[in-house]
Structure 1
């Protein structure tokens, strides 16, 4: 059974594995955006975009807040830090090449 960090990694990488979700994150790089702005920028229907926003939110990659009848979305800096740490760990492991470990 994977430990909690692995489960989080699976969720993060799943969320990042889709072109549309990557495009949403690209749109959010400049800061918080209203869902109506995202819908227009992405040239996507509301329901399709909502699905992708839900996946990103569940992975912890974005934050949302309601203002009146609109939802606003922004990148979650803590999630990006976690992602950076995960990549650093993988880079260290790749550089060490698993030295000293042999099968049988």
Structure 2
């Protein structure tokens, strides 16, 4: 599978997905082994909380809640990205592979 530059950029953004962003969305970043596992908890309500400028827990992340919501939506709507497994991860690096079919 080949990824476009835009797809690679979107995946790269996930390396910056922090607890601060999750807190603003009202979710917990738990254990995950795939992009789907990581992002499935960001449902419509969580994404709306990220976009809400009046949210007192709004992310202090420099990307901003609205941009995070857009990034997450784009990844979730791209079956090639959403179906990637995360393998060989540690605190600094994760390798993404296609899910076994």
TM-score for the superposition, normalised by structure 2: 0.40
TM-score for the superposition, normalised by structure 1: 0.39
Task: Decide which structure has the larger Cα Rg and report it.
Answer: 1
Which of the pair is proportionally richer in helix?
1
